[in-house]
Amino acid sequence: MAGHSKWKQIKRKKAVTDQKRGAVFTRLIREITIAAKQGGGDPGGNARLRTAIDAAKAENMPADNIDRAIKKGTGELEGVTYEEVTYEGYGPGGAALLIQATTDNPNRTVAEIRNVFQRHGANLAATNAVAWMFDRKGQIVVDAKASEDATMEAALDAGAEDMEKEGDIYLITTPPTQLHAIWFPRTP
């Protein structure tokens, strides 16, 4: 019977892992679909799509899933139409919050976000109530294995604005339009 109990535990653990993996896949698929919709299905000419595909591969997403997501984005396959929306609000202590969402139903999404805000004593705000407090920047996170000076020089030469060391990583800040060009220097 001990074996049976152990199997139940393994099953429960597997269910939790599968659920988390499913949530990660859902987000990655949406990002691939949106990227393909906006910039076309060729990752060679669409740096955002290339980044999304790399992220999906890093999570061991099957190639078929990636292909289907691209084809849904380009319209070659029928599927759900996603759009990007941004919501703003104030959290406990007056902190400003900016939420980027990808959804096939903005009415459902805003209702769900409002619900989460209300449960935590926070409030959604009008458009541009807090967005003006944020600057749009690209950010690249690199393992701090190489020397700080060499990494800084390479980053600045490629067009980055700044680099900071935080623990065992380097945080490289870029102009938003230059993010992919700096991340993939050989992209035309």
Partner 1 sequence: MKVEGSDAKRLLQLVEGLEEMDDVAKVFSNFDIDAEAMAAVTG
What are the φ/ψ torsions at residue 144 (nearest 5 degrees)? -80, 60
Spatial contact of 30 and 104, defined as CB atoms under 8 Å apart: no
**Piece of the chain touching partner 1 by CB under 8 A; list 10-18, 21-29, 58-66, 71-79:** 21-29
* Binding piece for partner 1, criterion CB under 8 A, among 35-43, 71-79, 94-102, 145-153: 94-102
Q: Compute the least distance from the CB of residue 154 to partner 1, in Å.
A: 26
Compose the 111-150 pattern: x for residues touching partner 1 by CB under 8 A, - for all others. Answer: -xx--xx-xxxx----------xx----------------
Q: Does 15 bind partner 1 (CB under 8 A)?
A: no
DSSP 8-state assignment for residue 82: P
With b meaning 16 or more CB within 10 Å and e meaning fewer, what string describes 80-100? Answer: eebeeeebbbbeeeeeebeee
Stretch that binds partner 1, among 7-15, 25-33, 146-154, 174-182 (CB under 8 A): 25-33
In the block, tokens 């999570």 appear at 59
Regarding 27 and contact with partner 1 (CB under 8 A), the answer is yes
Each as own residue / partner, the long-range contacts of residues 157-164 (CB below 8 Å, 24 or more positions apart, any chain) are 158/182, 158/185, 161/137
Distance of CA 116 to the CA centre of its chain: 20
Only segment of 27-35, 140-148, 156-164, 171-179 that touches partner 1 (CB under 8 A): 27-35
Q: How many CB atoms lie within 10 A of CB 151?
A: 19
- When the beta carbons of 121 and 188 are compared against partner 1, the nearer one is 121
Among 3, 5, 60, 93, binds partner 1 (CB under 8 A): 93
Please report how close the Cβ of residue 99 comes to partner 1 at its closest, in angstroms.
Answer: 5
Residue 144: exposure state from Cβ atoms within 10 A (0-12, 13-18, ≥19): middle
Total number of residues that touch partner 1 (CB under 8 A): 31
* Interacting residue ranges for partner 1, rule: CB under 8 A: 23, 26-27, 30-31, 84, 91-103, 108-109, 112-113, 116-117, 119-122, 133-134
